[in-house]
């Protein structure tokens, strides 16, 4: 059964029990991770996921709470014993930032696994990856820097997870989340480049998503009464929560 894991659910600054928003999907011995603003390897381990099953990392954009942990991620993956290449997917700006972060350190003597940089077009419907297990597409969203949301389909079952990433309310996310089993949407608060919980529920309802999980949560966000008036299947994402599809 495919499962969504919320490895982190916080905004760039959040409550003490949350780390930065990071996701993973798991099925049939395959794991895909999304973003690495914190200690991604520790979060994967805390979620009980097999590091050896990691088939790729997707980076949504260049901000530090989404890519700042990349050097530590590569170091830990290497120290875990990984030998096979590691695909890293993202739009050009996101990959460039990951390269800069990694390049800041002297690692010439480290026998790290090959990093396979896989650039994704910054356009709606762009294919991120396709395998027997996963089909992932991306689309630009509304944030101060180039950023993409994602639609992840588990191929054998047809189950779908959509992820808004950091964005103002936009029809792009409505299309990414059309009839999705779960929409993971940010709820940092209304403002430039971000959305509130109330705005997120309207996106979920318009998309026909079955369930809405709110992430990128600011400190002390807890009251969803107003949001539930518009979309009942909404909840705060749980740190290290596992959600079977």
Q: What is the mean pLDDT of the chain?
A: 97
Phi, psi of 75 (to 5 degrees): -60, -45
CATH code of residue 20: 3.60.15.10
What is the phi/psi pair of residue 4, to 5°?
-95, 135
Cα-to-chain-centroid distance, residue 227 = 23
d(CA 38, CA 76) in angstroms, rounded, equals 12
**CA separation for the pair 144, 185 (Å, rounded):** 17
- The DSSP-derived string for 135-148 is EEEEEE--SSS--E
The two beta strands, 86-90 and 126-130, are: unpaired
- Looking at the structure of the chain, the number of domains it has is 1
Per-residue pLDDT tens digits of the chain, which is 245 residues long: 899 999 999 999 999 999 999 999 999 999 999 999 999 999 999 999 999 999 999 999 999 999 999 999 999 999 999 999 999 999 999 999 999 999 999 999 999 999 999 999 999 999 999 999 999 999 999 999 999 999 999 999 999 999 999 999 999 999 999 999 999 999 999 999 999 999 999 999 999 999 999 999 999 887 888 889 888 999 999 999 999 99
Q: Are 181 and 245 in contact (CB under 8 A)?
A: yes
Strands 22-27 and 134-140: unpaired
**What's the pTM?**
0.97
**Is 77 within 8 Å of 109 (Cβ atoms)?**
no
Which residues are within 8 A (CB) of 126 and not within 5 positions of it... i.e. 6 or more apart? 120, 137, 138, 139, 148
Give yes or no for a contact between 46 and 92, defined as CB atoms under 8 angstroms apart.
no
pLDDT at 93: 98
Q: Which helix (H) or strand (E) holds 173?
A: helix 171-176
- The span from the first CA to the last CA of the chain, in angstroms, equals 7
3-class state of residue 204 by DSSP: helix
């Amino acid at each position: 059964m495919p499962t969504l894991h919320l490895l982190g659910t916080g905004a760039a600054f959040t409550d003490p029990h949350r780390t930065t928003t990071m996701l993973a999907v798991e099925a049939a011995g395959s794991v895909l991770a999304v973003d690495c603003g914190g200690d991604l390897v520790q979060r994967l381990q805390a979620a009980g996921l097999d590091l050896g099953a990691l088939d790729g990392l997707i980076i949504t954009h260049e901000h530090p709470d989404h890519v700042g942990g990349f050097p530590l991620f590569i170091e830990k993956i290497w120290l875990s014993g990984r030998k096979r290449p590691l695909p890293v997917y993202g739009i050009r700006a996101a990959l460039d930032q990951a390269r800069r972060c990694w390049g800041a350190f002297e690692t010439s003597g480290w026998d790290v696994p090959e990093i396979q940089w896989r650039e994704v077009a910054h356009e709606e419907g762009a294919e991120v990856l396709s395998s027997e297990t996963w089909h992932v597409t991306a689309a630009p969203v509304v944030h101060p820097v180039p950023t993409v949301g994602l639609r992840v389909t588990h191929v054998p079952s047809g189950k779908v997870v959509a992820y808004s990433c950091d964005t103002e309310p936009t029809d792009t996310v409505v299309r990414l989340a059309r009839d999705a089993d779960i929409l993971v949407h940010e709820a940092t608060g209304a403002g430039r480049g971000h959305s509130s919980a109330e705005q997120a529920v309207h996106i979920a309802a318009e998309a026909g998503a079955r369930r809405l999980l709110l992430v990128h949560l600011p400190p002390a966000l807890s009251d969803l009464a107003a949001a539930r008036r518009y979309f009942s299947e909404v909840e705060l994402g749980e740190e290290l929560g596992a959600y079977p599809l």
